[in-house]
Structure 1
Amino acid sequence: MTDRALKVGIVGYGHLGEFSNENLCGAAVMFGTRNADKLRDSLPKELILHDLSDFTQTSVIVEVCHPLIVKEFGVRFLSHAHFLVGSPSALSDPKLEQDLRTAAKQYGKTLYVPSGALWGGQDIKKMNGSGTLRALSIRMSKHPSCFRLTGGLLSDWTEGEGRRVLYNGSVAELRPIAPNNVNTMAAAAIAASKLGFPEKSSQTLLSDYHIVEAEVTGPDGFTVKTVQQNPAKLGAVTGNATYNSFWSSLLGMCQCVYVCM
């Protein structure tokens, strides 16, 4: 990407969208959601788009709302701008992932996936590229109020119950159950593309932090285990440290010098 001034479009104005806006000093920013009326009290009207198809004058489009937006508008976004997918769980749909890759190549744009709360993603990607990645498993633990689940999985949970394993299986099968809670796992699955979204994952209650435990397996008994403890308020989908990580990913799209590690 060049060093000229960027015009940034942000789709979604939740916590991450608002955080990105506060940090995007000097960039021309446009905002859009499925319901633009919700933005009237938060943003100047000249920055609000009422139709997501109008993101045609931006250099970069950043999605920070829901995987359905990636599915519905992703190819269209890539026909006009570079696209950062803040809901990488959408890419568990293999057809959608291929459509986005094809669109990026066709239109000469770049599809970006931020690391978010994933720790060690570059190392996973290196092992994946070298063919030495044998297995990857991730477990996430959060307080029940931090989950956004379908199917009433937490309807019978009480404070006195303690920990409960909600799911144990592939990321692809978990996504429809917890579309807003699996982006860290999805980012890991993309980094480990040769293993794909069938990678093992699980969601566990109960914790006052967002805890991500990852185990990477390579050849000849090589193993790396990490435990990340991310502070988070009750009810928060996004952990505190994830905001700066996401912002760093957005900055990384625009830098002209890269550090090889």
Structure 2
Amino acid sequence: MVMDDAESVAYFHAGGGANPGMRAVYDLCARALDVMLPPGGRLLDLGIGSGRALSAVLRRRPDIMAVGVDLAPNMLATARDLFAAEGLDRRVELVQADITALPDSLAAGPWDAVSCMWTLHQLPDVQVLGAALRQIAAVRCDSGAALWISDFARLKDPSACPAMLQCVDPDSPAGLRQDAIASEAAAFTREELSAQLAAAGLGGLSSGHATPLPYLQAYWAFGANGKPEPVGHRYSALRGQTRREAALLRWGFTAKPF
């Protein structure tokens, strides 16, 4: 449930800055949250990790504020350094907490959106998953916040993810590739996650998944006030292979909020 080994955290964080596939996923999430957050909105990000995903959101939307939650001290320390280096530290607060049992100050916050990006596969079983989703449902019910949940999806064939990575990203470092393979294998299937969302009171969310291989899944809903008016975007400066992979991921996703 906690990825906090210093070497693993450093390796994951470095990959998030350099790997085109990881950056493409961050870009997809940032585009989704962009259209969900109103001007000057407040975002609660659960399972912030090393901060790369939230950084993409903050850079795309310079008007919003965020609170990032994680249980791993080394992840939070890495995220804190990242936000300071990128000049984002005044717009984000980091909190060490369990996403299945948030402090009252967070659970009752005036959030405009709640996000959980690339985190749920770290949870050890469906019981803990259910607790996390019930906490998210409670926050959403109290605040009327928009919701964005995205994660890996475990595939039926265990050989599919390794074969895909070898095909699309053959030069990826072995350690980073093994982490991706392990994460996909540890993830919940789309059927499992959909069932747990419904059981937690989060049924009826819009959803989509990657194609042609459905190794990523996403679920979302706009806030109680509906879709906000568009805000002037600061588009992320993706280049080269990262830009191509981000475009392919968006194009292949079966549905998305933007």
TM-score where L is the length of structure 1 = 0.40
Which protein is richer in strand relative to its size?
1
Higher relative contact order (CA 8 A, sep 6+): 2
TM-score where L is the length of structure 2 = 0.40
Which protein is richer in helix relative to its size?
2
